Each structure stands twice: as C-alpha cells, then as structure tokens.
Chain A
Amino acid sequence: MDVFILLLEGIFVSFEPLNLGLLIFGCLIGLFVGAMPGLGSVNGVAILIPITFIIPPTAAIIFLAAVYYGAMYGGAISSVMLGIPGASTAVATVFDGRPLAVKGEAMTALTAAAVGSFVGGTVSVILFTLFAPPLAEVALRFNAPETFALMVMAFATFVGLGGDDVPKTIFSILIGLALSTIGLDLITGKPRLIFFNIPGFLHGINFLVLAIGIYGIGEMLWTLEETKGKVQMSKLSVNMKEVGRAFGALKKTIMAMNIGSFLGFFVGILPAAGATPASLMSYGITKQLSKNSKEFGSGVPAGVVAPECANNSASTGSMLPMLTLGIPGSPTTAILLGGMILWGLTPGPLLFTQEPEFVWGLIGSLYIANFFTLVLNIALIPAFLMVLRIPFAILAPVIFVLCVTGGYAPTQSLHDVWLMLLFGFAGYILRKLDYPVAPAVLSIVLGPLAEKALRQSLILSDGSMGIFFDMAEKPIAAIIMYIAIVLLIMPAFGPLYRKYFKKAQTT
C-alpha cells in the first residue's frame, strides 16, 4: 500500500509542468537520437547531461530517463527503414524488421516495434516498482565493505558475462579505474598522475569527458566509417488500413512479448548486460520456442517484438541496481549515475529515504514516458523518416559541435576538450580492435566510489583484506566477493567446458 501511495506521489511529481514538459521533450529527443544510425541512448545521455546543470535533479533525471526510454523505441526505426541499427540495442530488430520492410510491410514492423516496446516498458516498470523498495531496504544495511564488494562484482560481471576478449575487457576496466585516480588523493591529499605538471589534471578527469569522447566523438568516427554518409531507405505507406493490419499481426506475438518483457528486465539488472544482450537473447529464445522458428529472419512480427520488448524492459531493469545499490546496470545508467553525483546526490539506497521525490518522481515518470513515447513514436513516423534522410555529412558536424561544447561546459576548461578528443580517437581505434569500451566508462564512474569504500574498509579492518571474506562478521560482503571471484574465473573454464562438451558429443 505504501508503495502505491509513493508511486502516486511520484506520478504527481512527474505531472508538474516543468517535469512533464521535459519528459515529453526528452521522449522526443530520445526517439530522434535512437532513430539516427550511430546514436543510441548512451550517446544521447552523455551529450545531453551538461545541459541538465541548470534544472533541479528530479527534472534532470526525468528528462534523461525519457531520453533513454525514447532512444530504446527510436532504435527500431532505422533498423527497419535503413537496415542499420539505430543503436546496438536494436541490432536484433534488423533480423526481421528489415525483411518486413523489404517485403513492403514496414508499417507492420514499426508498429510491432512500438507496441513491443510499450509492453516491455510497462511490464518492466511494474516489476521495478515492486522490486526496488525491498532491495533498497536490504541495501540500506550495506557499509563500506559490502559497497566495495558490490563494485568488484560489477567489474567481475563484465569479465564473466561480457563474452569479449578477457584481457582486453580487464584492460578496459583497469584503465577506467586508473583514469579515475588522477587528481588529488582523497585520503592523503597528494596529487597523483599529474602528467607534465599540467594543472588541468589536478581536478581529476570528469567521467563526462571520457563518456562524450567515447560515445560522441568515437561513435561518430565509427559511424562515418561504417556508412560513409550513404543510406538506403525503404518505402513506407502510412494509412489507417496499414496501421489496422499492423495491429492485427500482433496477435501472434504474445509469447514474444512475455519472453522479452521478463527476460529483458532480469538481464537488464545485471551490471555487464544491459539492453543489447537482452534483446539478442530474447530474439534467440523466442525463435527457439516458436512453432514457426524457420520463418524467423524472413520477416515475422514476433522477431521484431521480442528484441524491442526486451531492450525497453532491460533499460528499466538497469535502473534498478543504479537506484537501489548505486551500481549501474548499463553504460547509459553509468552515465546517469555520474550525473547524480554531479547534481550533488549520493547514489544508492539512501536516496529512497533522503530523496523520495527524486526516486519516485523518476519511477512515476517511467509510466508516463512509456505512454507518451508510444503515442509520439507512431504519430511522428513521417517526421522520423524526414530526419533519417538528413545526410550524415550534415548530422556529424552538428554532433561534433555538441560534443565540443558539452565537453567544455562542465569545467569550462579547454584541457577537458583536448582530453575528450583524445579519448574519442583512442576509443574509436580500441573499439575497432575489439577492446570493449563500456567497462572503461563504468569504471571511471565507479572508481572514486570504489576507492573510497576500499580505503574505508581497510581503515575499519586495520589494513586487513580479510574483511571482504569474513563470513562471520561480513557475510553479505563475503558472499558477493565469492560470486565476483567465480565470475572472474568463469571465462577460464569456458575453453575446458567446450573441449569436454565436444568430446562428449563425439563419443
């Protein structure tokens, strides 16, 4: 009952004129950002975060969450119409969305994507409302050792579940952490890693500089290389008959909606996972369980609904650990978490007691954003198609302008703009060589929090690392640490498992 009242209060908060205006504006921007090839929620949020400094934190989080949400819906538009995923979260949408468009059923694909997103979003936000308060209550009992153990688990998840090259993944985590140590040491006050005695390094490296560099500049370079500014758009006829037919086709997608919504939410909660693996897994499982699995890939609405449901559901799921535990569930939530620190908030369970308006305003806004995004998505399809016709050669410099100004604005230092360029170029090169870049962003956000928790824990234990493994004194920290260790060593057993499995299959 309490939850229901708090949720109602949250919905009222999101209906306040400023919040509602920003919510609708955020949904619109998110839809456009998601629809543009090469730009996704993470790019949109990273580039837009500097403009939230002049508004209250609640309005800022509602705006950015709406951008996040909208981008999940919008990603499907370019997947269907151009055959290029608007973002990595919409990769799986191309598998059946594009063939549907090629067959002349683009409207069916776009409607399936929009309705799938709406269902996934709604189910996940209900699950979020139910799970968040009890999890926050448990997390309230966490002290420095538990917090540090959680951070270690977040890093370990990238290694255990990331599926990428393990040394490269660990390198990415470590470089993010190393970058976060630049500046004044928080305990001794001594300057650390001040290269060439450049004063700009004394205030450390703002996570936004890395995030905008990698997800703004680096992503644009990547997309310029991939598309070379050329796109081929499918034809689309928008009329009531087509819309009616599109809704009719959704009757056969109930199973895909269920799988996408629930699987997406729980995969989204995992720190290394987020919306991209959730959508791919949802597509794969729906295909396997479907009676018409052979038709997948040739253009079936369920093949669009499954990933779209999952990516929206996962985006909400990834906010659960961000709000309750203070660890992000996706690269976008890592940036949102960094934003909270910039707005003067302390991410974690205390938010539920100290900033209920912020937390419940955000949760309430997710319900509202879900509705508005569905309506705007379907109503503005012709406008999106116009935007998609903008040549990349025009869009790219505009994004660069946003990156340069966004990189300068937080600290008003050209030093940060140079760093942002450097990170952008480096991120582009590293990504081409399969170095995952998301762990670096997660690490630079979590780095200072992890270091603080580690050093506080060691002061508590008189310098003994045993505090993290003491089942009698700190059982939660110990259990989390052991899970983290299992996750860290899991990739080492992968080749052994495959070898054994192959042997068993041949015999």
Chain B
Amino acid sequence: MSITNKITVKRAEIAVAVILALCSIALMIKSAENRITWNAEENMGAGFLPFYLSLGMLICTVLTIIKFVLKRSPQSKDDSPFIEAEAFKYIAVTIISLVILVLAIGYLGIYFSLIFFLAFYLRYFSSKSILFISVFSLITPVLTFLFFEWLLKIPLPQGISEPLFYPVYDFMYS
C-alpha cells in the first residue's frame, strides 16, 4: 500500500483539526504575553482580541473534532485517498521546487534562481525541447527584471549575483 493510499480523507481531516487546535492554543499562549483583560478604566489589553479570537478558533476545531467522532461530517466517513498517487507527484515536486526556489532567492538572487526553477520545472513536467526550455527559462527572468527594475523601479533580491547587475544599472541610470 503506497503512502498516498494510507493518507485517507478521514485521517487528514482529524490530523488537520488536531494541528489547528494546537496552533490555536499556541496563539492563545502567545497572545497572553500582553494583557488579555478588558475593563472600563483601561479599555482593551493588547492581547485581548488575539486571545479570544484564538479561543474561538480552538472551539471551532473542537467542534470539528466532535463532528468527526460522531461521524457527522462527510470527511469523517471518507476512506478515499486524500490525494491520488499521480497528483501527489505533481504537488510534492511543485512544493519542494518552490521551497528550494525561495531558499535560492536569498542566496543566488531572484533572477538566477528563476532560471534554474523554470528549467527544472519545465524539464520535469513538460515534453518541450531543450531549446524551448532554455529560451523560456532565460526570457522569463529578463522580462521580470525589465518589468520590476526598469518599469516599476522595484529592486528584487539579487543575493551574491548583485555585482553582475552593476553594469546594467549603470546603463539604465546613465
């Protein structure tokens, strides 16, 4: 039995509800770092609203768990896989490549990271030729650069590749 068959909608429902309940408790504890009381003299403490909003979230997740236990929600009776094996490949590769992209942006800078991301993604999922993938992966960051840096004047992160752009800036602003 593959991992995607083991994770059923039913299991995902209860796991997510428990995680959300724990997150709500964490938010309540964090909110309590500020005053969470409310009275006429001092008005509302800074932690009052986030604390009670988190408490409300906790109540909602507990209700979801109760509905699950009583089998009142459609998900509580659903033993089908949460995600199909073929779709899982798409989703997992996409998520991992996006995480690596953002990690790489901090180090390599956005433009070079985008080249690698696009080349990998297109090579992995599309049946396009190497030439198409190369051209596409190079043109997209160039257009991104022109749009943000030249037209909008918004600098995007360049990491260690920043010195390579100095001549381009000299040309743009000279």
Residue numbers of A with Cβ under 8 A of B are 51, 53-54, 165, 167-168, 170-171, 174-175, 177-178, 181-182, 185, 187-188, 190, 192-193, 195, 217, 220-221, 224-225, 228-229, 391, 393-394, 396-398, 400-401, 404-405, 408-409, 412, 414, 417-418, 421, 425, 428-430, 432-434, 451, 455, 458-459, 462-464
Q: Is B135 an interface residue (CB 8 A)?
A: no
Question: Which residue of chain B lies nearest to A222 when distances are taken between CB atoms in the complex?
Answer: B91
What 1/0 flags go to B153-174 for Cβ under 8 Å of A? Answer: 1111100000000000000000
Q: Is B6 an interface residue (CB 8 A)?
A: no
CB interface residues, B 41-89, toward A, < 8 Å: 41, 43-47, 49-50, 53-54, 56-57, 60-61, 63-64, 67, 73-75, 82-84, 86-87
Query: Which of B16, B87, B126, B140 lies in contact with A430, CB distance below 8 A?
Result: B16
Query: Which of A174, A193, A458 lies in contact with B60, CB distance below 8 A?
Result: A174
Query: Which of A174, A192, A220, A464 lies in contact with B31, CB distance below 8 A?
Result: A192
CB interface residues, B 1-56, toward A, < 8 Å: 9, 12-13, 16, 20, 27, 30-31, 34, 38-41, 43-47, 49-50, 53-54, 56
Query: Which of A193, A225, A393 lies in contact with B87, CB distance below 8 A?
Result: A225
Please indicate which of the listed interface residues A51, A195, A400 has the most CB atoms of chain B within 10 Å of its own CB. Answer: A400
Q: Report whether B152 and A178 are in contact in the complex, using a CB–CB cutoff of 8 Å.
A: no
CA distance A58 to B57 in the complex (A): 38
Q: Report whether B49 and A171 are in contact in the complex, using a CB–CB cutoff of 8 Å.
A: no
Residue numbers of B with Cβ under 8 A of A are 9, 12-13, 16, 20, 27, 30-31, 34, 38-41, 43-47, 49-50, 53-54, 56-57, 60-61, 63-64, 67, 73-75, 82-84, 86-87, 90-91, 94-95, 98-99, 101-102, 105-106, 110, 114, 117-118, 121-122, 125-126, 128, 136, 140, 144, 147-148, 151-157
Q: Report whether B152 and A53 are in contact in the complex, using a CB–CB cutoff of 8 Å.
A: yes
Please indicate which of the listed interface residues B45, B57, B75 has the most CB atoms of chain A within 10 Å of its own CB. Answer: B57
**A428: B residues at CB distance < 8 A:** 91
Q: Report whether A193 and B31 are in contact in the complex, using a CB–CB cutoff of 8 Å.
A: yes
Q: B129 → chain A, closest Cβ, in Å? A: 13
Q: Report whether A393 and B153 are in contact in the complex, using a CB–CB cutoff of 8 Å.
A: no
Secondary structure dominating the interface of B: helix
Query: Which of A185, A400, A412 lies in contact with B155, CB distance below 8 A?
Result: A412
Q: A171-B20, A187-B44, A412-B155 are in contact. List 4 more A-B contacts (CB 8 A).
A: A228-B87, A228-B90, A425-B95, A433-B12
Q: Report whether B110 and A168 are in contact in the complex, using a CB–CB cutoff of 8 Å.
A: no
Q: Report whether A167 and B157 are in contact in the complex, using a CB–CB cutoff of 8 Å.
A: no
Question: Which residue of chain A lies nearest to B65 when distances are taken between CB atoms in the complex?
Answer: A167
Q: Report whether B122 and A409 are in contact in the complex, using a CB–CB cutoff of 8 Å.
A: no
Q: Report whether B74 and A434 are in contact in the complex, using a CB–CB cutoff of 8 Å.
A: yes
CA distance A404 to B111 in the complex (A): 12
Q: Report whether B60 and A171 are in contact in the complex, using a CB–CB cutoff of 8 Å.
A: yes
A168-B60, A171-B60, A178-B27 known; A414+B94 contact, CB < 8 A = no
Q: Report whether A192 and B50 are in contact in the complex, using a CB–CB cutoff of 8 Å.
A: yes
Q: Report whether A432 and B87 are in contact in the complex, using a CB–CB cutoff of 8 Å.
A: no
Q: B84 → chain A, closest Cβ, in Å? A: 8
CA distance A167 to B17 in the complex (A): 11
Q: Report whether B152 and A177 are in contact in the complex, using a CB–CB cutoff of 8 Å.
A: no
Could you jot down 23 A-B contacts, CB within 8 Å? A167-B60, A167-B61, A168-B60, A174-B54, A174-B57, A177-B49, A178-B27, A185-B46, A192-B46, A220-B94, A221-B91, A224-B87, A229-B90, A396-B121, A396-B125, A408-B110, A409-B148, A412-B155, A414-B105, A433-B13, A434-B74, A459-B43, A464-B40
**A181: B residues at CB distance < 8 A:** 49-50, 53
Give me the 9 closest cross-chain CB pairs, A-B, nearest first: A463-B40, A393-B125, A171-B60, A167-B63, A185-B46, A393-B126, A190-B46, A225-B87, A178-B53
CA distance A451 to B13 in the complex (A): 32
**B126: A residues at CB distance < 8 A:** 391, 393-394
Please indicate which of the listed interface residues B9, B46, B151, B156 has the most CB atoms of chain A within 10 Å of its own CB. Answer: B46
CA distance A468 to B43 in the complex (A): 16
Q: Report whether B75 and A433 are in contact in the complex, using a CB–CB cutoff of 8 Å.
A: yes
Q: Report whether B44 and A432 are in contact in the complex, using a CB–CB cutoff of 8 Å.
A: no
Q: A219 → chain B, closest Cβ, in Å? A: 12
A175-B57, A193-B31, A459-B43 known; A421+B98 contact, CB < 8 A = yes
**B83: A residues at CB distance < 8 A:** 225, 432
Question: Which residue of chain A lies nearest to B126 when distances are taken between CB atoms in the complex?
Answer: A393
CA distance A188 to B44 in the complex (A): 9
CA distance A396 to B83 in the complex (A): 19
CA distance A430 to B110 in the complex (A): 29
CA distance A436 to B40 in the complex (A): 36
Q: Report whether B53 and A397 are in contact in the complex, using a CB–CB cutoff of 8 Å.
A: no
CA distance A167 to B64 in the complex (A): 6
Q: B138 → chain A, closest Cβ, in Å? A: 13
CA distance A473 to B40 in the complex (A): 19
Q: B94 → chain A, closest Cβ, in Å? A: 6
CA distance A380 to B84 in the complex (A): 37
**B64: A residues at CB distance < 8 A:** 165, 167-168, 171
CA distance A342 to B117 in the complex (A): 31
Q: Report whether B98 and A400 are in contact in the complex, using a CB–CB cutoff of 8 Å.
A: yes
Q: Report whether A433 and B50 are in contact in the complex, using a CB–CB cutoff of 8 Å.
A: no
**B20: A residues at CB distance < 8 A:** 171
Q: A413 → chain B, closest Cβ, in Å? A: 9
Q: A222 → chain B, closest Cβ, in Å? A: 9
Q: Report whether B125 and A229 are in contact in the complex, using a CB–CB cutoff of 8 Å.
A: yes
**B44: A residues at CB distance < 8 A:** 187, 455, 458
**A458: B residues at CB distance < 8 A:** 43-44
